[in-house]
Amino acid sequence: MNVTLRLGKKTEIHQLEKLYDDVNEYLEANINYPGWKKGIYPTREDAENGIEEGTLYVAEAAGEIVGSLILRHKPEPAYASATWQTDVEYEKILVIYTFVVDPKKQGQGIGRKMLEQIEELAKNLRMRALRLDVYEKNTPAIHLYQKCGFQYIGTVSLGLEEIGLNWFQLYEKLVEV
């Protein structure tokens, strides 16, 4: 499957909202590895904000949105407590948020292709690293990140204990420029 990563458009808000709802409904009906909840995260508002900021990317295959993510230079506050592989300003780092693949398309290598294209984008932008956090019980995502060369950095709280998400693992992949 040929997957292309590109910036999302305002005209795609409805499709992104449906993608988020489909993902959350799938998680509710199966194992909710990331701990996401429909109407709480991710939502239409997350997509709108990402498009407005110019940070939301969509993965497209055969003219259809099959995944999405947000890339920012802004980390979660808890990232400051970690000892990262590289110590540079966040203008040289892309942080991956809201990484989703259409549940009907899972198992087709879309997530891996998205991560490969993010790394290529980071190289072209002369970034030094990619960083992300993942809920400690989200074993499918952790496996994907490790398989794609992300290194475990540490475990932190992101302050989401009230909704049952206590610990998040931090991962980093250095980008060769």
Per-residue pLDDT reduced to its tens digit, 47-85: 999 999 999 999 999 999 999 999 999 999 999 999 999
Is the confidence at residue 104, as pLDDT, over 80? Answer: yes
pLDDT of 177 strictly over 80: no
pLDDT value of residue 162: 85
β-pair partners for 1: none
For residues 5 and 121, give the distance between their C-alpha atoms in angstroms, rounded to a whole number: 9
What mean pLDDT do residues 89-117 have?
96
pLDDT at residue 124 in the model? 96
pLDDT at 18: 96
Burial of 77 (0-12, 13-18, 19+ CB in 10 A): exposed
Interhelix angle 44-53/13-29, nearest 10 degrees: 140
pLDDT in tens, 122-171: 999 999 999 999 999 999 999 999 999 999 999 999 999 888 889 999 99
Confidence (pLDDT) at 1: 83
- pLDDT of 35-47, one tens digit each? 998 999 999 999 9
- What is residue 19's predicted lDDT score, i.e. its pLDDT? 97
CB neighbours of 122 closer than 8 A, spacing ≥ 6? 94, 129, 130, 175
